Amino acid sequence: MPLLAVAFSLFVTVQDARAREGVDVGNTSSFAKLVPAEQVERSAAQQYLQMLTQADAKRALAPKDNAQVLRLRAIAQKIIPFALEWNPRARNWQWEVNLIGSSQINAYCMPGGKIAFYTGILEQLRLTDDEVAMVMGHEIAHALREHARERMGKSAVTHGAARIGGALAASFFGIDPRLTDGIASGGANLLTLEFGREDESEADLVGMELAARAGFDPRAGVTLWQKMGAASKGAPPQWLSTHPSGKTRIAEIQANLPKVMPLYERARAR
């Protein structure tokens, strides 16, 4: 390729990067690459189905014509098209949204787009559609940014380092494939996997952008976490166990609102 063409290509690439609107959370962690995505998603699908089966046996699985189920699926339908930019694998995910009857203030999105809400988070917090979108966007962001896969990768490094020496943790070479395969195929409970504070902050911002692009008011993030804080009464609910709501979290959302408000305003104008 001629030098001028190369220079032009680089210029266009830089301009495209600068032109992107929204939040900036950096690249996906390299730890995620240590565990096969296909196996993580397959394990997630199996665990999700098991959870649904158990809920159905207890008559806790809301039927597909339930008003809240229809509401959740309508919100998801608006958000999901904007998820593809964050992770190309999401294009082939078999997305699901279900509602479980439980007093827990909880929701999640497992790898592969398996979403579940508990009635407790909807009823106890009296969430608006904008606030539901913020919760859903946050959980979808965990899946898109492959935080579960990252956690598994870190676990594989820890186990590998213990087995063949500390140099592994620095180099990422020589990991026994059986370690990562075992962890991905069932060594981690994806329903209860906890994320770190950095993952939670990242999910807040990416989720806020997803919701804004889908036409939901990102300012609802502030009211959502205020409600979470009031509901926790000093002890964070399960959903916030690793990153409790507070002034710092709300301040970070407010600081990033100027980056996503134009996206929301254009979406509303469509």
Catalytic residues: 139
The Cα 221–Cα 250 span in angstroms is 8
**Residue 255 in tokens:** 């600081």
Helix (H) or strand (E) run with residue 98 in it: strand 96-100
Q: Assess contact for 104 and 120: CB atoms under 8 A.
A: yes
Output phi, psi for 100, to 5 deg. Answer: -110, 130
The Cα 62–Cα 3 span in angstroms is 61
Residue written as tokens 């598994």? 152
Torsion of CA 178, 182, 185, 188, to 10 degrees: -150
3-class DSSP state of 169: helix
3-class DSSP state of 64: coil
Residue written as tokens 């329903």? 191
Closest Cα partner for 208 from 120, 110, 130?
130
Residue 43 pairs with which residues in a beta bridge?
Answer: none
- Helices 129-144 + 147-164 axis angle, to 10: 30
HSE at residue 61, side-chain half, CA atoms within 13 A, is 15
